[in-house]
């Protein structure tokens, strides 16, 4: 015991310092840290058989870095204007890590499929879209199907009927009325299952299943194409994937040696939608040397601004970030894939 006391007497300060350092780096906090991620060359993610990308310049996929907070990273985020601290619930939409990752990977898969369809349609190349059904992103706690339907399942039929988009499913279900029992046919881990339960009243006052959903679409092409984004998830790469695939299909010199970054979802009509964290993506693009950044554009009305991140639209926030931190970068507002292509062809 005397040896231990002597050791503590001489080295207690060092032990305390070691414990403090360990705590700073290891103690988990109920927050996530969000900041600038990477700006990767899309050429490394996209393969179009027989159509390699030999043109100079880069289309770049920008991302937001996100990680569970520790005291040291929390302190760093407080001092760095490009980083934010958000609650764990807000960062993951209240889902556990495995479920959140599954949803983000599906978003990326969906974005990739729509990007392929958009690029092939614009390049007059043959492709086929097959509507698989409704992909389940979340299940409400008051849903009568919560014990049967899980995140990641795909609902293929309601009362034996298959529809070609989520809106058609929603209309059919709404007509049945609250309390009406419906039978769902769905895919779970590759197996077909059935579940029957009554419909609930949604916040919209209409009858519904009680799930958050998106369309599950499969795209096949005559010229094989593959998109592999690795560990990057989410829907925000749709526009840039479309541009990269279109570049390879047509071999047009769209980039003209430039480093072009951007962000935005892409839908079945080639329209570009808003995303989160565009200010951080601007910084990632600047760090990678991009000189052009495509930003989704919507008209800034009072109602929209009340709901927007920092009460600014994507384009407004991108412009403000560029003005302050990246004055040599040009932010280009776009509402559609065709508009982005037209800009590159004419500038």
Catalytic residues: 236, 281
- Which are the contacts of 70, defined by CB distance < 8 A and separation ≥ 6? 24, 25, 26, 27, 28, 29
**Residue 14, helix vs strand vs coil:** helix
**Residue 24, helix vs strand vs coil:** helix
Going by their DSSP bridges, the two strands 84-87 and 265-266 should be labelled as unpaired
Cβ–Cβ contacts within 10 Å for residue 199, how many?
A: 22
3-state DSSP percent of the chain in helix, strand and coil, to 5: 40, 30, 30
d(CA 109, CA 78): 34
Tokens 């209240």 -> residue: 94
For residue 88, how far is the Cα from the chain centroid?
Answer: 17
Check: CB of residue 98 under 8 Å from CB of residue 151. no
Check: CB of residue 53 under 8 Å from CB of residue 100. no
- Phi first, then psi: what are they for 314, rounded to 5°? -50, -50
d(CA 343, CA 183): 49
Cβ–Cβ contacts within 10 Å for residue 193, how many?
A: 13
Sign of the dihedral defined by the CA atoms of residues 283, 284, 288, 292, in that order = negative
Compute the residue count for the chain.
Answer: 347
Nearest to 298 by CA among 338, 334, 262, 342: 334
Check: CB of residue 133 under 8 Å from CB of residue 155. yes
């Amino acid at each position: 015991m005397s040896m231990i006391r002597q050791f503590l007497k001489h080295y207690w300060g060092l032990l305390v310092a070691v414990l403090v350092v360990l705590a700073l780096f290891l103690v988990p906090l109920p927050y996530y840290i969000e900041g600038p991620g990477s700006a990767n060359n899309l050429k490394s993610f996209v393969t179009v058989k027989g159509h390699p990308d030999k043109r100079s310049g880069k289309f770049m996929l920008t991302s937001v870095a996100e990680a569970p907070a520790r005291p040291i990273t929390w302190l760093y985020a407080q001092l760095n204007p490009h980083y934010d601290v958000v609650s764990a619930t807000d960062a993951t939409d209240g889902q556990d890590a495995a479920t959140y990752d599954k949803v983000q990977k599906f978003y990326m898969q969906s974005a990739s499929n729509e990007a392929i369809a958009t690029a092939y349609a614009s390049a007059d190349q043959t492709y086929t879209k097959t509507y698989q059904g409704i992909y389940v992103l979340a299940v409400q706690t008051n849903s009568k199907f919560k014990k049967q339907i899980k995140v990641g399942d795909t609902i293929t039929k309601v009362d034996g009927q298959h529809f070609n988009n989520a809106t058609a499913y929603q209309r059919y279900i709404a007509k049945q009325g609250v309390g009406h029992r419906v039978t769902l046919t769905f895919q779970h881990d590759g197996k077909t299952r059935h579940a029957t339960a009554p419909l609930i009243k949604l916040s919209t006052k209409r009858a519904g299943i009680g799930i958050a959903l998106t369309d599950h679409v499969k795209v096949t092409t005559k010229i094989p194409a593959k998109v592999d984004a690795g560990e990057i998830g989410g829907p925000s790469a749709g526009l840039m994937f479309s541009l990269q695939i279109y570049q390879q299909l047509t071999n047009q010199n769209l980039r003209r040696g430039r480093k072009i970054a951007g962000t935005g979802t892409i839908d079945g009509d080639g329209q570009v939608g808003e995303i989160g964290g565009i200010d951080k993506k601007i910084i990632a693009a600047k760090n990678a040397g991009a000189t052009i950044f495509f930003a989704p554009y919507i008209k800034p009305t009072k109602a929209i601004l009340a709901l927007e991140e920092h009460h600014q639209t994507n384009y407004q926030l991108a412009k403000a970030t560029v003005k302050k931190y990246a004055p040599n970068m040009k932010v280009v507002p776009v509402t559609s894939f065709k508009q982005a292509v037209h800009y590159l062809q004419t500038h």
